Structure 1
Amino acid sequence: MTGNNRLFRLLDSGADKLSAPMLDGILEACAELADLNLNNDILKQLVNDYAQLEQKNYKLLREISEKQQTIEEDLAAAGRIQKGLFPQKLPELEHYCFNWECLPCDKMGGDLINIIPYDEENWIFYIIDVSGHGPRAAMITVALSQFLNPFNRGRSQFDHLSPAETLRELEAEFPFERFESFFTIVYGTLHLPSGNVRMCNAAHPFPLLIDGKSAVFVEENNPVIGLKLTDDWQETQITLSEKNRLYLYTDGLTEARNNLNEQFGEKRLLKAAESLKNLNCNEFVTAIKSSLTDFSEGRIFDDDFSWLLLGKR
């Protein structure tokens, strides 16, 4: 029996001996005591519910943290796999030099570059920029790498030494309806004995041709791959003479911004290339990268940035 119940029984047995004001005061006090007990019960329940909710939240946050860590580890692993698509150590050639790098703005990116010895006289090279970046774009680069590998027996056979035919095959194999994406590419071949370069540019930034006197853009272009805008792919031919260099890059270079939100742009790139035209291959790409770093003033790149340099000694 609770204290309130005992009190009510006592009051009931001796109520005729109490004055009305005293009885009203006692009843009011009992009512307040009952409210207090009820409030205490509610408070205890609220505290208990809050404790249980805290436990559930802690468990949920721990699960989210573990899943996020797994995702981060998977992305890092996928990024390492994607790096395996890029050129590995290339054979040293007496009359040629090569340089490349890919700087994704995330753990994975949509840029792809490669240079592949095809036979004793011919090498294949390409630079690709898939729309967007991150895992989706990176997965498309994997498919592109497999497709463009001339020694991949599982792929349809075509003339890898014909840039125009290669782009025609890419257009057929990678339609927008299938991948919901498109990409730009410069695909070319280098004939080592002559220095002759054949290449097709599908909406990619214009390559730079640098010699000891000047730097100029190779301004041939075709539509982007994936949208079926043409079947007539136009090639360009140039010849790499002594100390000539062909610099290919993605738009992460020209579209990089500084703290004033200005783009690096083609004019700055051309001006920098002209001032660096007498440097060797390695010195040239290092200087271009330094120019971009100085311009961006430490600002993080918003897009992937890659380059590929072919030079004749």
Structure 2
Amino acid sequence: MGNRVTRGDFEWVYTEQPHTQRRKEILAKYPEIKTLMGPDPYLKWIVSGMVFMQLLACYLVKDLSWKWIFFWAYAFGGCINHSLTLAIHDISHNVAFGNKQAKWNRWFAVFANLPIGIPYSASFKKYHIDHHRYLGGDSLDVDIPTDFEGWFFCTPLRKLLWLFLQPLFYSLRPLYVNPKAITRMEILNALVQFSIDLVIYYLWGLKPVIYLIAGTILCLGFHPISGHFIAEHYMFLKGYETYSYYGPLNWLTFNVGYHMEHHDFPSIPGCRLPMVKKIAAEYYDNLPHHQSWIRVLWDFVFDDTLGPYSRVKRLCKLAKES
């Protein structure tokens, strides 16, 4: 990783992110990986099925008591919604309809957003580009916690609270770290989302709306699937800033666990990332990785060496827009 200097408690590095060089080496050795790039023909059908499944669930929960609303929101609906946020992650890389149909991808992400209950997809797209381009970039990569988060959430109890509050920090942190002008797509995303929320409320009452939004908040917070937030880039071993996870929850999360492979080849859809690992096995097999997101959460909370400060940061120069 090169020379490191401690500034605050983040791991400051003065080298480029490792994914660019590894991508060049792998493509030079295995040019056939380029054939894995391009749209996933099944993604739009899987996502559509999940959206309609949640609409059916809205009808089924409309007469349940509040305790069962929240139970099913956490145990079922929130899992679907969290999975849909990861579908939106894939769609943000244009893998639903391909790079030549960018608008179709943007609008399909708005459609995938509907069960989440809160407008999300357009803002995610806007900031996720920076996460790839400026991985760990100071004041650019809003995936990095703030100094306050690193300083305050430093004990097991506080780290547990931080995990519960992850949806709040992920939504508010960009406004503080790297505020950007609201785009037309964000406005349209909000108009469509709130219109559907009102239609659901008009048809079936408040409980289905709460079911959707509560599921999103609960399952993006302290939940086994949320282990991916910590597993992806928190520094469990010094010098390694991205980690893959090869456990069974990849089946529910569009292979987001193949995160090393994803950052090396962001234009390859999640369904084909296991093929990247198989083809270029010598580049991935010996890298540190995770097998359990539950274990990740446990270690994060109870290991004194881990916390929101356990991230690599670097100074990045802004790239010129093409």
TM-score (norm 1): 0.26
Structure whose CA Rg is larger: 1
Q: Which has the higher contact order (CA 8 A, sep 6+)?
A: 2
Would you tell me which structure has more strand in proportion to its own residues? Answer: 1
